[in-house]
Amino acid sequence: MTEKLYYRDSFLGSFTGTVLSCEQGKGGWEVILDRTAFYPEGGGQPADHGALGGVAVLDVHEKGGEIVHLCDGPLEAGAEVSGEIDWARRFDFMQQHSGEHIVSGIICAAHHCDNVGFHIGHDLVTIDFNAELTTEDVREIERRANAYIWEDHPISIAWPSPAELEALEYRSKKALTGEVRIVTWPGTDCCACCGTHVRSSGQVGLVKLISCQKFREGVRIEMAAGGRALQWCNTVAGQNTQVSQLLSAKPGATAAAVERLQGELYALRGRVAELEEKDFARTAEEHAGAGDVLLIQGPMSAESLRKLCGAVQERCGGRCAVFAGADGAYQYAVGHPGGDLRGLAKAMNAALNGRGGGKPAFIQGSVKAQEAEIRIFFAEAR
Ligand SMILES: [Zn+2]
């Protein structure tokens, strides 16, 4: 069994160990040492990365009591090597993991539920509970978790005897056998855990509960602790600053400004639709009885394009083709009441580098063609 130095000192960032074996495996060399500070993936906490005797450690996992380091180069069996943990990565995981325990302890006690899932993702941490939580619940949990963090309680980690364990109330995701490691945040949480943690709650810094959504028979909470919480605040504050500058609104009043803008947009859309309707009716009148019609217009919405085509085809007494856009990229709608446009669609898509189709009497799509090419095609299309 590899001696697990990370259990003796979770803040050990460098160490020396002896290479017991090194074998080429899938994706790298699998190195086993007599002792290691590299934490293997487990209990929701990802594996450490870093360097070992001059080669990179890409992944670490536990296999039958031994810690296997997946390295990008070989190490000589029997050699003493020094290991260096990617400390920024590890400390981030410890902040997330300890933050998660504090939040879970508070939720499980207050809402009589279980933590049924925990994942440290690339940006955020997710925790799942078999309970319903309201927005107010979440704010209260966040307030209490941060108060506990700022009180800076020291952590306590123990390997109780089976008898001691029997008498202990602790959280656990599964029935445990053999030695059980109990991680306690005094007054807040007591949980069976194999992960690494900060020394005192103050080192978590801050927890931010970002969202709480219905998930399976309970909820999924997205959270960020420590440096990640700061990163998240910076990202969101940066976005809000941009919105505030774009809308000339105070940073604390951007939502009201967006709402006002939406109202204006809605009113403008209504006005545009009204004007378009009049304009399309006028165009339809101009082409009354004209037979086949081809209209090439500036850009307009797909809905407007359909409306214009519909208005003209009713009056022209033939086939109406409308193209909207600019040279190189046009949207089209073609209508012919009682006609069959399937052959035309095929020929047009082939000739004008287009795509689209529809019903016999109405087709729509797009072409990558110039106005002149469209005019030539329709001059020849009969
Ligand atoms: Zn844990």
Kindly give the distance from the C-alpha atom of residue 315 to the centroid of ligand 1, in angstroms, as a whole number: 73
Tell which phi-psi region holds residue 191, choosing left (phi > 0), alpha (psi between -120 and 50) or beta: beta
Non-local CB neighbours of 203 within 8 Å, separated by 6+ positions: 94, 95, 98, 226
Mean pLDDT computed over 203-212: 98
Span between the terminal Cα atoms of the chain, in Å = 84
pLDDT for the residue 382? 66
**Residue 320 corresponds to which tokens in the numbers above?**
């109406």
The string of pLDDT tens digits covering residues 9-28 is 999 999 999 999 999 998 99
What spacing in Å lies between the alpha carbon of 3 and ligand 1's midpoint? 20
Q: Residue 114 Cα, ligand 1 centroid: separation in angstroms?
A: 13
Q: Residues near 323 by Cβ (< 8 Å), separated by ≥ 6?
A: 294, 295, 296, 297, 330, 331, 332, 367, 371, 374
Give tens-digit pLDDT for 322-380: 999 999 999 999 999 999 999 999 999 999 999 999 999 999 999 999 999 999 999 99
- How are strands ordered across the β-sheet holding 125-129? 115-120, 125-129, 218-225, 207-215
Predicted local distance difference test score (pLDDT) of residue 174 = 72
**Distance from the alpha carbon of residue 352 to the mean position of ligand 1, in angstroms:** 62
- 271-319: per-residue pLDDT in tens? 999 999 999 999 999 999 999 999 999 999 999 999 999 999 999 999 9
Q: How far is the CA of 91 from the centre of ligand 1 (A)?
A: 14
Q: What residue ranges define each of the domains in the chain, with the CATH number in brackets? A: 3-85 (2.40.30.130), 91-235 (3.30.980.10), 280-380 (3.10.310.40)
Question: How many angstroms is it from 62 CA to the middle of ligand 1?
Answer: 16
**How confident is the model over 187-196, as pLDDT tens digits?**
999 999 999 9
Q: Which residues surround ligand 1, an ion (CB under 5 A)?
A: 193, 195
Please state, in angstroms and rounded to a whole number, the distance separating the CA atoms of residues 122 and 232.
12
Under DSSP, the state recorded for 208 is E
Task: Please tell me the distance between residue 234's alpha carbon and the centre of ligand 1 in angstroms.
Answer: 27
What is the three-class DSSP state of 212?
strand
Q: How far is the CA of 97 from the centre of ligand 1 (A)?
A: 6
Report pLDDT for 51. Answer: 98
On average, the pLDDT of the chain sits at: 96
Q: Stretch 216-224: mean pLDDT, rounded?
A: 97
For 98-129, write each residue's pLDDT tens digit. Answer: 999 999 999 999 999 999 999 999 999 999 99
Q: Distance from the CA of 206 to the center of ligand 1, in angstroms?
A: 18
Give residue 229's pLDDT: 98
Instruction: Please give the distance, rounded to the nearest whole angstrom, from the Cα atom of residue 260 to the centre of ligand 1.
Output: 46
DSSP letters, 259-315, are HHHHHHHHHHHHHHHHHHHHHHHHHHHHTTT-EEEEEEES---HHHHHHHHHHHHHH
- Taking the CB of residue 74, how many other CB atoms lie within 10 A of it? 15
Q: How far is the CA of 181 from the centre of ligand 1 (A)?
A: 10
**Whole-angstrom distance, CA of residue 137 vs CA of residue 113:** 14
pTM (two decimals): 0.83
Distance 28 CA to ligand 1 centre (A): 29
